[in-house]
């Protein structure tokens, strides 16, 4: 769907050094306070909404290469993210960092242009998510404010010299000597949190039946269209090209030694079952230092900005009043 595409582009636009902006207050109704951050609070409904959005994103993007987290671990991670966002928001207010309406207008226009959206189609897609233009503008405002905060506190103090770039290139020569990559088709049968053991067993049986039909010569793309619930299903399961490190590790391990035209066994992950066909294998040419100098600099710059921002946030948290409340009582949060 175009909605998913432009939403991801928005996140990438606002992303800076791995730091995502706040997505606004999830609920006006205070159902139960679960954390205090100086004079602010975080509610249970806000944590639930943000965690549910993360779970949905993982289910819709089964090829995201990320650590396998339990729901409890995701909630803990999201709560810490919400705390960090509150602290950053408070600093934005204290430092009187502001974003003009013109800056927001420019960002909205850029999003619409990059995703070929008109005002009407943008509003229609937002309505599907029960959101409005006002919600989107607020999200953009918060993201731009945070970018300015990062620029003030971190970016202006970060420099990556030529010597650092050259040292990285020499230490990682194998990364620049040409990489193999695979073009793949995928049949994805997802698990859902409320699945019973019997339902998952039936899904495993279905995967075996599909695999047997593939091995019997039935067209993989046709089977993907009929059975896959992954993002490339309508295109016969075509997922495009993936280089080493871009696939989830268990999937990469299954395809890294396959030749063009070969099919993996059924691959079970915590989120579902995959059957993957490698349609092409190629190798990118090696790159000289001058070809990759700026990309290395950008990579190291983003890493350094993220590291320094995390250090800055940790220092800010140490100087702040942060208290997490759970069912057993209050606990002072230390990190």
pLDDT of residue 7: 46
pLDDT of residue 52: 86
**DSSP assignment, residue 26?**
S
Burial of 49 (0-12, 13-18, 19+ CB in 10 A): middle
pLDDT of residue 14: 45
Q: What are φ and ψ of residue 33, in 5° steps? A: -80, 130
* Residue-range definition of the domain harbouring residue 206: 179-283
pLDDT of residue 68: 61
- CATH (domain of 250): 3.10.50.40
Residue 170 lies in a domain: no
Residue 104 lies in a domain: yes
pLDDT of residue 63: 57
Print burial letters for 150-166: b (CB count within 10 Å at least 16), e (below 16). Answer: beebbbeebebeeeebe
Q: How many domains does the chain have?
A: 2
289-332 pLDDT, tens digit each: 999 999 999 999 999 999 999 999 999 999 999 999 863 334 44
pLDDT of residue 329: 39
28 and 151 housed in the same domain: yes
pTM check: above 0.95: no
43 and 81 housed in the same domain: yes
Residue 263 lies in a domain: yes
Report the SS3 class of residue 272. strand
Could you say which residues of the chain have pLDDT below 70?
1-30, 60-69, 326-335
123-137 pLDDT, tens digit each: 998 998 888 999 999
Residue 288 lies in a domain: no
Residue 142 lies in a domain: yes
240 and 327 housed in the same domain: no
16 and 122 housed in the same domain: yes
Burial of 144 (0-12, 13-18, 19+ CB in 10 A): buried
């Amino acid at each position: 769907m175009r909605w998913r595409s432009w939403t991801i582009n928005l996140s990438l636009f606002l992303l800076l050094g791995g730091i995502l902006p706040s997505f606004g207050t999830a609920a006006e109704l205070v159902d139960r306070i679960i954390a205090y951050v100086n004079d602010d609070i975080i509610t249970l409904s806000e944590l639930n909404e943000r965690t549910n959005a993360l779970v949905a994103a993982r289910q819709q993007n089964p090829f995201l290469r990320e650590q396998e987290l339990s729901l409890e671990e995701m909630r803990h991670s999201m709560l810490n993210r919400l705390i960090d966002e509150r602290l950053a928001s408070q600093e934005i207010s204290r430092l009187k960092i502001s974003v003009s309406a013109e800056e927001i207008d420019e960002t909205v226009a850029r999003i619409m242009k990059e995703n070929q959206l008109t005002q009407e189609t943008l509003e229609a897609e937002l309505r599907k998510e029960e959101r409005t233009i006002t919600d989107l503008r607020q999200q953009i405002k918060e993201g731009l404010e945070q970018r300015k905060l990062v620029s003030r506190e971190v970016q202006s103090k970060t420099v990556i010299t030529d010597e650092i770039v050259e040292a990285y290139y020499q230490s990682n020569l194998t990364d620049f000597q040409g990489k193999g990559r695979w073009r793949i088709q995928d049949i994805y049968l997802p698990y859902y949190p409320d699945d019973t053991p019997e339902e998952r067993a039936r899904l495993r049986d279905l995967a075996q039946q599909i695999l047997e039909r593939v091995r019997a010569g039935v067209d993989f793309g046709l089977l993907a269209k009929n059975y896959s619930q992954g993002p490339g299903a309508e295109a016969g399961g075509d997922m495009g090209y993936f280089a080493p490190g871009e696939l989830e590790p268990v999937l990469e391990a299954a395809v890294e030694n396959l030749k063009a035209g070969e099919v993996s066994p059924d691959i079970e992950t915590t989120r579902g079952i995959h059957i993957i066909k490698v349609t092409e294998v190629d190798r990118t040419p090696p790159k000289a230092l001058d070809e990759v100098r700026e990309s290395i600099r950008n990579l190291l710059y983003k890493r350094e900005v993220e590291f320094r921002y995390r250090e800055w946030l940790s220092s800010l948290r140490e100087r702040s009043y942060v208290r997490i409340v759970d069912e057993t009582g209050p606990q002072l949060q230390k990190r």
